[in-house]
């Protein structure tokens, strides 16, 4: 899993809609194979591009920025980005019928936007409103869509047809973007880029291990993304658990 999946997509409205409709229909059939990767050859090329981009730009920038920026500032950036995304979590919570999560996020947004000084601090967690992160990919999962094919997207990294469509929809329908004026939009984008760079630093060892310390980083990233995503969606994977005492030589 890479840390790149938080940079918003800047696609035109039309392309986004056409794409998401296409993807929505494509992933209507649930697929339970964990390595549904028919475009592996193309995915591997994009993955290699992302890896070179990481090596040349994202990792070095992350190390410098992470080292120079004091921890409280990094935490503040992280809090602000999550706070700006919270209205989107509310919308998705409602679409999923998870009212408790949606209302918790409403209170959270109210508290952190005011007491938390525009979201820099996170008093809401202490008040009993922890972050309930979600996205439109999860909403589609709740509606019954399977993950579709595994994809690797330039800069953004590993995803699936469903999750990429979700990202497009989230970017287009993010309520925050509708209420933020044009000059503030750059600040929002800047915060998101900073958060991505800091994430790279926060998970330096884990990401380095995955990208540069493996015989097949592509296969490792695919496995980690798909398994972790299923876990985050609350999909029970215990049927796939390995029992080495039953079948020691299995595939």
Partner 1 sequence: MPSNPSRRSVLGVLLSGAAVLALPVRALALSVDQASRLVQSLVNEVNTVIASGKSEAGMFADFERIFIRYADVPTIAQRVLGPAARSASSAQMSAYVKAFTGYISRRYGRRFREFIGGKIEVVDARAIKSFYEVITVARLRGQEPFDLRFHVSDKSGKLLFFNMIIEGVNMMAAESTEIRAMLDKRRGNMDQMIEDLKRAG
CA 72 centroid distance within chain: 23
Structural tokens at position 112: 């952190």
Shortest Cβ 14–partner 1 spacing (Å): 36
Pick one of 38, 70, 144, 248: the residue that binds partner 1 (CB under 8 A). 248
Distance CA 121, CA 200 (A): 21
Residues 169-208 that bind partner 1 (CB under 8 A): 202, 205
Inter-residue contact 96 to 139 (CB < 8 Å): yes
Q: Which is closer to partner 1, CB of 186 or CB of 240? A: 240
**Closest alpha carbon to 31 in 154, 141, 178:** 141
- H or E element: which one contains 160? strand 157-160
- Which of residues 67 and 181 has its CB atom nearest to partner 1 in the complex? 67
Does 250 help bind partner 1 (rule: CB under 8 A)?
Answer: yes
Which tokens belong to 222? Answer: 């695919």
In the bound state with partner 1, the residue whose beta carbon lies nearer, of 71 and 100, is 71
**Residue 244 lies near partner 1 (rule: CB under 8 A):** yes
**Alpha carbon distance 26, 115 (integer Å):** 44
Tell which one of 45, 126, 208, 240 touches partner 1 (CB under 8 A).
240
Token representation of residue 159: 């995803």
Is 36 one of the binding residues for partner 1 (CB under 8 A)?
no
| Nearest distance in Å: CB 211, partner 1 | 13
State which residue, 179 or 245, has the beta carbon closest to partner 1. Answer: 245
Asked if 227 touches partner 1 (CB under 8 A), the answer is yes
CB 78 within 8 A of CB 121: no
The answer to whether residue 70 forms part of the interface with partner 1 (CB under 8 A) is: no
HEC string of 100-142? HHHHHHHHHHHHHHHCCCCCCCCHHHHCCCCCCCCCHHHHHHH
Binding site for partner 1 (CB under 8 A): 71, 202, 205, 209, 213-216, 219-220, 223-224, 227-232, 237-238, 240-246, 248-251
């Amino acid at each position: 899993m890479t840390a790149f999946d938080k940079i918003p997509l800047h696609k035109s409205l039309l392309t986004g809609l056409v794409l998401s409709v296409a993807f929505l229909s494509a992933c209507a059939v649930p697929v339970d194979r964990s390595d549904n990767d028919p475009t592996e050859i193309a995915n591997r090329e994009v993955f290699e591009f992302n890896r070179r981009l990481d090596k040349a730009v994202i990792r070095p920038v992350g190390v410098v920025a992470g080292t120079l920026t004091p921890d409280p500032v990094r935490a503040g950036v992280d809090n602000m980005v999550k706070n700006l995304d919270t209205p989107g979590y509310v919308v998705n919570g409602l679409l999923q019928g998870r009212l408790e999560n949606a209302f918790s996020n409403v209170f959270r947004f109210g508290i952190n936007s005011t007491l938390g000084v525009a979201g820099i601090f996170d008093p809401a967690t202490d008040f009993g409103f922890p972050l309930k992160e979600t996205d439109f990919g999860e909403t589609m999962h709740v509606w019954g869509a399977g993950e579709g094919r595994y994809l690797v997207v330039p800069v953004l990294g590993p995803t699936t047809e469903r999750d990429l469509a979700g990202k497009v929809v989230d970017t287009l329908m993010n309520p925050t973007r509708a209420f933020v004026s044009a000059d503030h939009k750059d600040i929002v984008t800047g915060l998101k880029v900073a958060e991505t760079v800091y994430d790279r630093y926060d998970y330096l060892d884990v990401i380095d291990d995955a990208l540069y310390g493996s015989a097949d980083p592509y296969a490792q990233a695919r496995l980690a993304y798909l398994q972790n995503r299923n876990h985050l969606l609350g999909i029970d994977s215990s049927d796939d658990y390995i029992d080495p005492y039953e079948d020691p030589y299995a595939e």
